[in-house]
Structure 1
Amino acid sequence: MDTDNEIRLRLRFYKDVSENIDALRAKFAKYTEIKSNDYFVKIRGYHIWLNIKGAQKTYYSPHLHIELEKKTETETHIRGLFGPDPTLWTFFMFLHFMVAGIFLIFSGIAYSNYVLKNPITMDLVVMALMVCVWFLLYFIAKQIRKSGHKQMDYLDDLFNEMIAS
């Protein structure tokens, strides 16, 4: 998977495996019993999370969410989603909503000032700053994803190892 050419911040993949969904889930369940210092596996129904743990875990460490879907009796469709730590993702979403709220508030103020024939320069400056902050948040998120690229490859290799076992 070439992550450098992706615009999306949360990378996805899809895979079809010619194996029963319950047999495949059992393979992942076997890895929950292994006590590793590098990763842990959490399973809820047909949703599986692979997470980095221990000394390797940093603020940019990704996790892998895998969803198993029954395609036929002997085939399973797998949806994978790499994402940042949920706390970091929530913080970024909070920042995005704050920026959007400020942008909308100042666009309303700018419209009111325009209708009242008052100067709107300051309102437009704040709106332009919010657009710059949006781009800045995007590039920060890209940098965080790039920092976690090695760990993303590790989780991908671990996922493929679990399927092959």
Structure 2
Amino acid sequence: MSSLRIRPRFKESVPENVESFKNRIQTALDAENEFSGLVSDQYCVIKIRPEERHYWSPQLTLTLEENSEDDLEVRGLYGPKPSVWAVFFMSYAALGILSLFAGVFGLSQLMLDKPAPILWAIPIMAAVALGLYLIAQAGQKVGAEQMFRIHHFYEQVIKHRVALT
């Protein structure tokens, strides 16, 4: 179930309306002791119970979009808690912005025939970004068993298999 993507996802069409789908998810969550979650208007989150959660515990976020009365498009996204994802996203963004500024400053120094040692920061920041990616992959491996359990639970609720992309 592991993927090179940081946040595995799926998209499927379900032949029912939003209300019946939400009721099915809520009933399954209420009957299950292993998972907790939130079911709202167009959005569902399935999580591992708080007693079993750790830093890398995944959650499944379902976005529900009704195409017609009995045709529902469900988009699922596996990922860590939003705070964990935000740390990685902001780190990537900061590295990108710092690399851009280092590149612009370094190239302008080179154009003025001055030394530009700041350009060495770009490969270092690329290595840090690669390190962050590898840490995210390692965290995904730590949470893989819980992700498999959540995915299996979802497949039991909807009564068919779902492939991740």
Aligned residues of 2:29 and 2:35 also touching (Cα < 8 A): no
- Does residue 23 in structure 1 map to residue 20 in structure 2? yes
Aligned residues of 1:31 and 1:41 also touching (Cα < 8 A): no
- Does residue 70 in structure 1 map to residue 85 in structure 2? no
Residues in 2 aligned to 1:157 and 1:19: alpha-carbon distance in whole angstroms: 20
Greater alpha carbon shift after TM alignment, 16-25 vs 81-90: 16-25
The answer for unaligned runs of 5 or more in structure 2 is 160-165
Instruction: Give me the identity figure in percent.
Output: 25
Residues in 2 aligned to 1:49 and 1:30: alpha-carbon distance in whole angstroms: 14
Shift of residue 90, structure 1, vs aligned partner? 0.7
Residue among 89, 95, 99 paired with 2:85: 89
Which deviations, in whole Å up to 9, do the C-alpha atoms of 1:123-146 show, x marking residues without a partner? 121111011111111111111111
Give the secondary structure class of the aligned counterpart of 1:110: helix
Residues in 1 aligned to 2:93 and 2:13: alpha-carbon distance in whole angstroms: 37
What is the aligned-residue RMSD (CA, Å)?
1.8
User: Structure 1 length as normaliser, TM-score?
Assistant: 0.86
- Structure 1 residues 31 and 76 mapped into 2: Cα distance closer, same or farther (>3 Å)? same
- Structure 1 residues 74 and 98 mapped into 2: Cα distance closer, same or farther (>3 Å)? closer
Greater alpha carbon shift after TM alignment, 81-90 vs 62-71: 62-71
Residues in 1 aligned to 2:123 and 2:114: alpha-carbon distance in whole angstroms: 19
- The structure showing larger relative contact order (alpha-carbon pairs under 8 Å, at least 6 residues apart) is 2
Shift of residue 35, structure 1, vs aligned partner? 6.9
Shift of residue 34, structure 1, vs aligned partner? 4.1
Give the secondary structure class of the aligned counterpart of 1:100: helix
Q: Which residue in the other structure is 1:129 paired with?
A: 124
Which deviations, in whole Å up to 9, do the C-alpha atoms of 1:97-125 show, x marking residues without a partner? 221222122112212211221112x2121
Shift of residue 151, structure 1, vs aligned partner? 0.6
Shift of residue 20, structure 1, vs aligned partner? 3.0
Q: Which residue in the other structure is 2:162 paired with?
A: none
The 5 Å alignment of 1:134-149 reads 134-149=129-144
Residue among 25, 36, 43 paired with 1:40: 36
Give the secondary structure class of the aligned counterpart of 1:61: coil
Residues in 1 aligned to 2:30 and 2:5: alpha-carbon distance in whole angstroms: 33
Shift of residue 17, structure 1, vs aligned partner? 2.4
Runs of 4+ in structure 1 displaced over 3 angstroms? 31-35
Residue among 98, 116, 129 paired with 2:112: 116
User: Structure 2 length as normaliser, TM-score?
Assistant: 0.86
